[in-house]
Amino acid sequence: MERRKFIKSAASGFALAGLGGMTTIAATTRVSSSRVSNKAKFTLKYAPTLGMFNQNAGKDPVDNLKFIADQGFRAAYDLGLIGRPPAEQEKIANEARKLGVELGQFSLKTAGGVHFVLNSNTTKEFIKEKMQAGLEVQKRTGINKGLVVLGNVDPKLHIEYQTANVIENLRICCDIVGNAGLMLVMEPLNTLTNHPGVFLTRTTQAKMICVAVNHPCCKMVNDLYHQQVTEGNLIPNLEMCWDHIGSIHIGDNPGRNEPTTGEINYKNIFKYFYDRKYNEVLSCEHGQSKPGKEGELAIIEAYREVDPVA
C-alpha cells in the first residue's frame, strides 16, 4: 500500500470497526504495542502540538513526539513548554533531537491584560521577567523562537501613544534576548471571533512595528486563521510582510480546524511556501473537525492531501 494512502485506509478501518465490533485496528494505535506508522516524510514542516494526538498516542509528550515522527511530520511545538518542569523540557528537547523533529516556538506567556501598550515601571518589570524566563527555556531546549502577545488596548490612551509604547517595550525585550539569539515573534489576533479588545490585529500593523523596532530579533507571526478572519488577502499579505515574518500558524476558517475543513485554499498556500523554498516550522494551531481517534487520523490525512509533492 502506498504510504500517502495509509492514513485514509486506517480512518476507514475505524469506521468499519465501529460497525462490525472489530477492535484490531484500534489496537494498532496503542503506543504500548505497535504504533500506527506512516514514515513518508511531509514536504513542508507542519508542526502538530504535543497534545494533538492524545487519543492515538496517549498524553505523555514524548509518546506524542514519537507518534508525530511516525506519521512523517518533521516538526512539532508546544506553546505551553515554558510551564513544564525544567527536567521535562530537557527530556522533550532531547527526544526531539533523537527523532529528527524540529521544535517550533514556545509562548513567553505575555497574553491577557494591558501590558505592552503602557509606559510604566510595572510593564517594564513584567516583560523583563518574561524575557528572562524565555532565555532559560532556550538554554535547556535550544529553541530560538518565543511567541509574544502584546495584550489589550487601553481605551484611555490614544492609539498612537500605545503604538509608541509597544515599540519602546519591544526594544527593551530585544536588548535582553538579542545576544542569545532568541527571536521574538509577536502575533496579531482577530477581534471578531476569538480575542475582542486585543491591540495587535493586522499584518500591516505588525510590519510597521517590526520596522520601527528595527532589531533582527523582532519579527511577526502570520496566523493564517486569524488573518483570514481579520483581513483575508492571505498570499498578497504574506508577500508584503515576508521579510518580517518569523512564524506561521495554520488553521482553517470557520471553525479553526485542520486544512480542507473551511474556506482557505491551503493547497495553494502551501504551494506558495514550497515555491519560496520555505523550510521553517508551520505551527498547526487548530482543533479537529471530527471526534476521537478517527478525527486525529483525519487531521493527518488532510495534511497529506494538501502537502506539495517535491
Residue span of the structural domain in which 260 resides = 39-306
Q: CA 284, 253, 201 angle in degrees (round to 5)? A: 80
Does 13 fall in a domain? no
Query: Residue 59 is part of a domain; what is its CATH number?
Result: 3.20.20.150
Burial label for 164, CB within 10 Å (0-12, 13-18, 19+), is middle
How far apart are the two ends of the chain, measured CA to CA in Å? 20
Burial label, 131 (beta-carbon count in 10 A; 0-12, 13-18, 19+): buried
Query: Among 88, 55, 53, 58, which residue's Cα sits nearest to residue 72?
Result: 53
Q: Give the cell for residue 244.
A: 518580517
* 245 within some domain: yes
* Alpha helix positions (H), the chain: 6-20, 24-28, 54-57, 61-70, 86-99, 121-141, 159-177, 203-213, 224-230, 234-241, 266-275, 292-306
Any bridge partners for residue 223, and if so which?
A: 249
Number of domains in the chain: 1
245 DSSP β-pair partners:
220
Q: How does DSSP classify residue 34? A: -
Asked whether residue 8 is domain-assigned, the answer is: no
For 75, other C-beta atoms within 10 Å of its C-beta total: 23
Specify if 25 maps to a domain.
Answer: no
Q: Amino acid identity of 107?
A: S
The verdict on residue 199 lying in a domain is: yes
Asked if residue 3 belongs to a domain, the reply is no
Predicted confidence pLDDT, tens digits, the chain (310 residues): 444 444 444 444 444 344 333 333 333 333 433 456 677 999 999 999 999 999 999 999 999 999 999 999 999 999 999 999 999 999 999 999 999 999 999 999 998 888 899 999 999 999 999 999 999 999 999 999 999 999 999 999 999 999 999 999 999 999 999 999 999 999 999 999 999 999 999 999 999 999 999 999 999 999 999 999 999 999 999 999 999 999 999 999 999 999 999 999 999 999 999 999 999 999 999 999 999 999 999 999 999 999 998 6
Closest alpha carbon to 47 in 64, 60, 29, 59: 64
In a domain, 32, yes or no: no
Q: Is 19 among the domain residues? A: no
